[in-house]
Structures are given as structure tokens and as C-alpha cells.
Chain A
């Protein structure tokens, strides 16, 4: 009888235990992330270590990401033009297709879709590469050879993300608008002057500042989160797999939260 009461009590406590464990793990992760961020700021002084790798990382993280970003934005532009035309009935002039494609690509879909795609491509790549170096003691070897591993591995990647992400997003926006334009001409019986008129009608230069701020923050999040989970990976191949998954999932979640945050704060 006593045993049954005890086991029922244990069963009832299980959800609280799980929540407690989850809370502790979350606090621990935030603590580690804070420590990691402080290390990155401190490592900024080691210019001689991180600078030689910056261009290489700009190439890998930025230039090599352009094709996937362009592929996604090209089809997004086509769909946006067609859906805009479908949504805008006869009561609304056709040139609003240009407005909708332009505004949506610049303010939202250009940075966010590129961000989510690169959370997979770049974030996963960084987490897997640095995680593998962690579990094979290559990061310890860097430390033992008097290289600050944060300056050597993390800073060039995060800086490349901050610098290159806005450029990749700019290409994505341009191609998205371009493909929407071509779709409007080819499939919607619109003329170029009509599309351009719509495009320019509600354009505000602040839109570009807004997307620049978003893009820079997304670049920092994608590379920083990938680097953090890779750097703190433990165990063997399984640990690297977990780190890679977390980098993509957490990176994507933070992008969506930041997206809402910037909209609420800046618009």
C-alpha cells in the first residue's frame, strides 16, 4: 500500500522534475552563451589571429551562399507576383503587384527566407566543422599551440556573417523583384512602366535601412549560434549531430523571434 502511494507520488512529480531539468538546462545554456560571447569580445584584440581567415570565411559563408539564396528568391518572386495578381481583384489597380512584390521582398521575405535557408547551410556547416574539431581535440590543440580558439575559429566566421549576409540578402531581394517583374510581364499582361510605378509608389528609403539591420542581425545569429553549439559539442559523432541539429533549430527560431522584434521596434 505504502509502495503504491510512493510510486503514485513519484509519477505525479515527474512533470515537475522534467520542467526543473529543462529550466536548469536552459539557464546553463544561457550562462555558457554569455561566457562564450564575453570570450568572443575579448578575442577581438587578437587581430593577428582572426584577420588572416576573414576573407576565406567571407567567401565560404557569403559568396558560396549566393546561389541557394538566389534560387529561393527567384521562385518566391514568381509566386508573389502571381498571388498578388490573384488577390488583387478588379477594384485594385494591377500595378499594385509591383508594390506587393517589392515591399514583401525587401521588408520580409528577402531577409527571412535567406536567413532560414542559411541557418541550414551555414549554421549547420559551422556547427559540424567546429564540433568535429572539438571532439577530435583539435580545439585543445589550438589552445596548446597558443592560439585563442575563439579568435581563430569563431570571430572570422561571425564577422563574415555580419558583413556578407546583407550582401547575400541584397542579391536575393534584387532577384526576387526581378523574377516578379518578369512574371508580371510574361504571365499577367502587365507592362514594365506599370510594374515600376507600383514598385516605386510606396517605396521608402527606410525600408532598406530596416532590411539592413535585420540582415546584419540574422548573419550574426546564424554564425554565432552555429559556432556556439559546435564549440560546446561533447561526445563523438552523436554529439556533433546534436550540435548541428540545435544550430539549425535554435538559429531558425531566433531568426523568427528577431524578425518580429525588429518589426515591433522599428516599424
Chain B
């Protein structure tokens, strides 16, 4: 098991976000974490690389208990994880190629020519051309998302965490991003966790889907299992019927 969260609890002030959240992600699979906005999906994702620490419970990645890792060990772990932020979080004072090169500069022994080559490869993988010297503010939303993905995959990580990679994009760009996520798994063998509330996208890219509800995992299963579920709350969510959701909860 490569990523495991056990009984994680997290509250901000009086607001309890995760309450007994448990999830495991197997090596090489892509798992989508679904749930309504504000359910705590991104908070759960940030626990995996220690950007947020749990109030209680444990987070294990690659056999390491994240909370126990000292500074350097935590940074070593982060070098094996790529994180695609919801709004890309590109450094706006840097060009796209400088953004993509950032993670590579933390890898010992990479020469400038190797870094340039890897930046080019990563931008090619996400089908971005002629943007190397442009700033994030000069790109469209879809291009920014892809640049964020290029930065995350540049270090060839073992794990990729995607925070709403397709939110706010047009259907064509959504399909392009979905294909990229599938390519990451198929060509680079990456284990992926995708936070999304786009069900079509989740069905396309996932090996398994987990639903987060009221701080806990309500259900987890393969795409077919989730599609066939009789849980009225999950049915209401995946069919987009808020009135059923209120009744079911």
C-alpha cells in the first residue's frame, strides 16, 4: 500500500473538516476523491505531503509516517510526489520554463543542460509549445493548468496529487487533461490521487473512486461499483440531484 490515511481528524477552529477519515491508495492506481465543494477533499490531499498536519490519526506514504519525518526527510519525500494545485499556483514572477525547472533544481547532480532538456520534455508531455519564456499571466486557464501539471511531473515523481485539475475548463481541455492523467499512469507508472467533483472525468480516469462526506469516506469502489451503488446519497451526488441529497442525508 503506497498511501494510507488512518482515522485522520482535522479542524480549523470550531470547523471540523475531517473526522475519522481513512483511505488507502494502491501502487500504480488512480483514485478519484469526490465530494461536494467544501467537503475537505483538498485538505485531505494536503495531508499526504505534510502541507497540513492532522490533529489526530496517521498519514503513511511509502512506508513513512509523515508526521514523524524530520525536515530533510519530509523534503526527500516531497521530491517523490508531484502536486497539481487547483489554480496551478505557478510562480507569477517566473517564466513557464523557470516554473517547471523549480523542482528539478532541488535534485542533486542535475546539470543546466539536463534541466533544460527535462523542462522541454515535460512541456511536450502536456502539449505546451512556445510558452517557455512567457509568464503565467500571459496564458489561458487551460494552458496554466497544463503548465502546473508539467511542473508537477518534471521530477518524474512516483505519486501525483491532482487538486481539481479540470475545474473551470472547457470540455475539450477537460478531455486533454484527463488523457494526460491517464498517460501519467500508463507511461510513467505514477500512482495518482485526483480530487474532483467532475463525475465524467472521474469515470474516465479512475481505477477507483472514493466519496468524502461529512469528514469521512462514505464509500470507495471501482468505477462500475460506484455507478451501480444503491447508496441514495452517492446516487444523488453522482446524478447531480440536490433534492435527493437532502433527503438521503
Contacts and interface: CB of A to CB of B under 8 A. Distances in A.
A136 interface: yes
A141 B87 contact: no
B92 A141 contact: no
A140 B87 contact: no
A141 B78 contact: no
Nearest to B83: A144
A145 B106 contact: yes
Interface residues of A, number: 13
* Most chain B beta-carbon neighbours within 10 Å: one of A133, A140, A146: A146
B46 interface: yes
B85 A137 contact: yes
Interface string A48-76: 00000000000000000000000000000
A56 to B, nearest CB: 11
Given A144-B83, A145-B106, A138 B91 contact: yes
Nearest to A144: B83
B71 A141 contact: no
Interface in A98-146: 133, 136-138, 140-141, 143-146
B103 A146 contact: yes
Contacts of B51: 140, 143-144
Interface of B: 46, 49, 51, 71, 75-76, 78-79, 81, 83, 85-87, 89-92, 102-103, 106, 151
24 contacts: A133-B91, A136-B89, A136-B92, A137-B87, A138-B91, A140-B46, A141-B83, A141-B89, A141-B91, A143-B49, A143-B78, A144-B49, A144-B51, A144-B78, A144-B83, A144-B85, A145-B102, A146-B75, A146-B76, A146-B78, A146-B79, A147-B102, A147-B106, A148-B75
Nearest 9 interchain pairs by C-beta: A137-B89, A141-B89, A144-B83, A146-B75, A145-B103, A146-B106, A146-B78, A146-B79, A137-B85
